[in-house]
Structure 1
């Protein structure tokens, strides 16, 4: 009897719907880990970089490159990929070419977004009409409380302070 129940249970599993697309068993949507790799480069960031800049300044503006090759020392690859649940996956590559220690040129894809376009592309809340605020208005900045002023501490005597009795006593 138990062998018959085991056979029935295993054949019954073959008729269950499996993982298809984003759903498990056709009902449940599992959590998918958000994967972000590389440097987020936008039109505003790339516009700051000019030919003739030293490598250190390019690194300060764009960040460390994701790929540097010992055989191609004049090329830095800035690759960015993101996979986020509820948003389209994105991949972009910006290549910096150097001549010695100076930037020669920058290869930028045509679809490089602005900061606002990038936030809108990865924001899953925008479907509900909730867009994040990126900057404070001038009125909001003025409404911020000022940090408290710190008073400078009074100068204290350095070292151990001792009080000795006089060496001679007066008659």
Structure 2
């Protein structure tokens, strides 16, 4: 009988500690799961990305055959890409993730120069050259 009373007092002494530890463990697990799932609810900040040369319709209207490379550079600025294998081709590219920032800007302009360094032709494309979204 004495043995049973020792076990019952020992069991009752450890029972509140077990409940507290179990509650703490359950609370910790619940908080961890809610914090990990919370990452999917919050979208990270994505800054506006704008790259390239803004070419307006006005500047494009001044473009004509026979302009020199110097005049083209004064009109549009330095090209974004010069092909080392074809130095007579200049590419101007404009990209932005903000649709309200210069919505009328030309997205891509390619200038072709002849052997004398004069503009012989050009190509305008309003499609986005790279899809970075």
Query: One fold, TM greater than 0.5?
Result: yes
Q: How does 1:1-171 map to 2 (within 5 A)?
A: 1=21, 2-16=24-38, 18-19=40-41, 24=42, 31-84=45-98, 87=100, 92-100=107-115, 101-109=117-125
Find the residue that maps to 1:3 and give its secondary structure: helix
CA distance in 2, matches of 1:88, 1:60: 23
Mark the runs of 5 or more structure 1 residues left unpaired by the alignment: 112-171
Question: Highest relative contact order (Cα 8 Å, sep 6+), 1 or 2?
Answer: 2
- 1:20-61: per-residue Cα shift (whole Å, max 9, x none)? xxxx37xxxx65322211111122101112111110000000
Decide which structure has the larger Cα Rg and report it.
2
CA distance in 1, matches of 2:126, 2:29: 59
Question: Which runs of 4 or more aligned residues in structure 1 lie more than 6 Å from their structure 2 counterparts after TM superposition?
Answer: 88-91
CA distance in 1, matches of 2:107, 2:97: 12
- Number of residue-to-residue matches in the alignment: 102
Which one has a larger percent helix, Structure 1 or Structure 2? 2
TM-score normalised to structure 2 length: 0.63
For the aligned residues, what is the CA RMSD? 2.9
TM-score normalised to structure 1 length: 0.51
Mark the runs of 5 or more structure 2 residues left unpaired by the alignment: 1-20, 128-133
Distance 1:18 1:109, change over 3 A: same
